[in-house]
Amino acid sequence: MKGPGLFLAQYVDSQPPFDTLNGLASFAAECGFTAVQIPTTDSRLIDLSLAAHSRDYCDELRGLLAERGLEISELSTHLQGQLLATHPAHTALFEHFAPAELHGRPQALQEWAADQLQLAACASRNLGLSAHASFSGSLLWPYLYPWPARPPGLVESAFRELARRWRPLLDAFDEAGTDICFELHPTEDLHDGASFERFLDAVDHHPRACILYDPSHLLLQHIDYVAFVHRYHERIRAFHVKDAEYRMSDRTGVYGGYLDWVDRAGRFRSVGDGQIAFDQIFSALIQHGYAGYAVLEWECCLKDRMRGAQEGAAFIRRHLFERPDHAFDRFSAGRSDPALINRLLGLGAGDNR
């Protein structure tokens, strides 16, 4: 496993040093990070179209980061992925992520999002990246809770449509040699293992349809987030290190009661301040050979983001380790000897077939 990495989305600002990739890279390096995950909707960080068409530009980006001891872990199209499949009830909330001339034009927004994802595939190839972070979008979220009962065929039709929109993009990322890692996230149609499996079936288990593993969203859904790693490890190709806590309440629960984050029963915390057992998570991922980056995503309702970054880099570094190159008890096993094995099993010469 590589890292620590920092997702830059929560650190971009209008004030220096957070208003340029150069400034953010210096900040990340000073905090002790070795990689950055770059959101692609802000041209101050990356010109996505240019990155898709110019290897020289990509070399310049990598060189700028390398001067500070940094790499790019992944590019992120969370916002574009969201707009690829947005229910009309939510379009007005999300359209400000796209150019102003597209607002109020749902089909144009969808086409723009698809084009952005095609560019991201090419940019990932030019940057030599093996994984890419995104959201799936959501056609079904208004119908999550089945009351009144969902009409037969609603869920199946939604996943067929979601697969239709994503299939050519999965193929584009396959040509680029890059996995699309969907962050399983409430408000997305892919928000847990069951919904991810349904999507996999709809895209014929496409080899590039993978998971960005973020245990915070699983804990807040009361999912066994360590067992999740053991079940889905073959599809986990990206990792957000983000903490959370669920405080049982007699007033509100997992839906949040429309409260602000700080007052919810479930809330995000800086790493080490919540309830997530990261020692078990890192062990499970390393056990299954996860070779991607451990990327800090700071989202905390209490702690300042600067301290969150500084503590987060050290936290991740403490949890990274290499597997031993041989079993700890190998010294006591002796040598391989067929005669000894037969004797240990109580087999005579005539019994050994």
CATH at 278: 3.20.20.150
Q: What is the mean pLDDT of residues 90-115?
A: 96
Q: Which residue has the higher pLDDT, 351 or 172?
A: 172
Mean pLDDT, rounded, of the chain: 96
| Residue 331: per-residue pLDDT | 85
With respect to residue 351, please indicate whether it lies within any of the assigned structural domains. no
Provide mean pLDDT across the span 47-67. Answer: 98
The residue to which tokens 């079993």 are assigned: 327
pLDDT of 353 higher than 60: no
> Which domain range does residue 92 map to?
2-328
- Cβ partners under 8 Å of residue 196, min gap 6: 182, 184, 190, 211, 232, 235
- Structural domain count, the chain: 1
pLDDT given for residue 328 in this prediction: 87
pLDDT grade for 349, boundaries at 50, 70 and 90: low
pLDDT tens per residue across span 211-249: 999 999 999 999 999 999 999 999 999 999 999 999 999
Please compute the mean of the pLDDT values over residues 121-134 and round it to a whole number: 98
Query: Per the domain annotation, does 223 fall within a domain?
Result: yes
User: Does residue 45 have a pLDDT over 80?
Assistant: yes
Query: Which tokens in the block code for residue 43?
Result: 């041209």
Query: Quick check: 352 pLDDT over 80?
Result: no
Distances 167 to 40, 42, 57, 178, 180 between C-alpha atoms, Å:
21, 26, 28, 14, 11
In a domain, 50, yes or no: yes
Query: Predicted confidence band at 350 (pLDDT cuts at 50, 70, 90)?
Result: low
In a domain, 323, yes or no: yes
pLDDT at 296 over 80: yes
> Which residue, chain included where needed, has tokens 């340029």?
20
pLDDT tens sequence across 76-89: 999 999 999 999 99
Examine the pLDDT at 272 and tell me if it is beyond 90: yes
Instruction: Give residue 283's pLDDT.
Output: 98
- Identify whether 337 is part of a domain: no
pLDDT value at position 333?
Answer: 83
pLDDT band at residue 52 under the 50/70/90 scheme:
very high
Is 49 exposed, middle or buried (CB count within 10 Å of its CB: 0-12, 13-18, 19+)?
Answer: middle
Within a domain: 317 = yes
**What's the CA gap between 202 and 189, in Å, rounded?**
13
Q: List the one residue out of 12, 1, 129 whose CA is nearest residue 71.
A: 129
3-state SS, one letter per residue, for the chain: CEEEEEEHHHCCCCCCCCCCHHHHHHHHHHHCCCEEEEECCCCCCCCHHHHHHCHHHHHHHHHHHHCCCCEEEEEEEHHHHHHHCECHHHHHHHHHHCCHHHCCCHHHHHHHHHHHHHHHHHHHHHHCCCEEEECCCECCHHHCCCCCCCCCCHHHHHHHHHHHHHHHHHHHHHHHCCEEEEECCCCCCCCCHHHHHHHHHHCCCCCCEEEEECHHHHHCCCCCHHHHHHHHHHHEEEEEECEEEECCCCCCCCCHHHCCHHHCCEEEECCCCCCCCHHHHHHHHHHCCCCCEEEECCCCCCCCHHHHHHHHHHHHHHHCCCCCCCCCCHHHCCCCCHHHHHHHCCCCHHHCC
Q: In the chain, what percentage of residues exceed pLDDT 90?
A: 93
Give dist(CA 270, CA 299) in Å, integer. Answer: 7
pLDDT surpasses 80 at 60: yes
What per-residue confidence (pLDDT) applies to 334? Answer: 81
pLDDT at 348 over 90: no
Q: Is 172 part of any domain? A: yes
Q: What is the pLDDT of residue 162?
A: 98
For 146-164, write each residue's pLDDT tens digit.
999 999 999 999 999 999 9
Q: How far is CA 327 from CA 280, 288, 323, in A?
A: 20, 16, 10
Average of per-residue pLDDT across 295-300:
98
Tell whether 350 is covered by a domain: no
Q: Measuring CA to CA, which residue among 300, 254, 31 is closest to residue 145?
A: 254
